[in-house]
Amino acid sequence: MFSVLRVTSLVVASLVLGACSVFLLCAGAALVALAADASVSIPWVYTVWPTEVNSLPALSFVPHVRGAAGLSVLVAAAYVLYRVRTARPR
């Protein structure tokens, strides 16, 4: 029972870690777009372009689900593999 709870907590933690990595990538894109004052496109993660809302500049995000999900899964899998290998009794 303890091992099931441990694996479940590791999976949840890795999913949260993957979601945080995608959020940080999107936040970084927003900062780059604001600093460059131009459209920025990194197609394997997201696309950002400036638009206007009520005559005020705004940023619109169009996520590329495959890229973001793939990155999240890779980060999560690496984290779970690391935790399983370090938790294994010797």
pLDDT of amino acid 62 = 46
Structural domain contains residue 55: yes
Query: Is residue 3 situated within a structural domain?
Result: no
Domain count, the chain: 1
Q: What is the pLDDT of residue 39?
A: 52
Exposed/middle/buried for 14, CB within 10 Å: 0-12, 13-18, 19+?
A: buried
Is 12 a member of any domain? no
* Residue 49 structural domain: 19-83
**Does residue 4 lie in a domain region?**
no
Counting as low any pLDDT under 50, the low residues of the chain are 40, 43-50, 53, 58-62
pLDDT value of position 46: 47
Query: What confidence tens digit (pLDDT) does each residue in 59-73 have?
Result: 444 455 556 666 667
Q: Which residue has the tokens 């593999």?
A: 81
Residue 48: CB atoms within 10 A of its CB come to 19
What is the separation of C-alpha 4 from the centre of its chain, rounded to a whole number of angstroms?
Answer: 26
| Residue count of the chain | 90
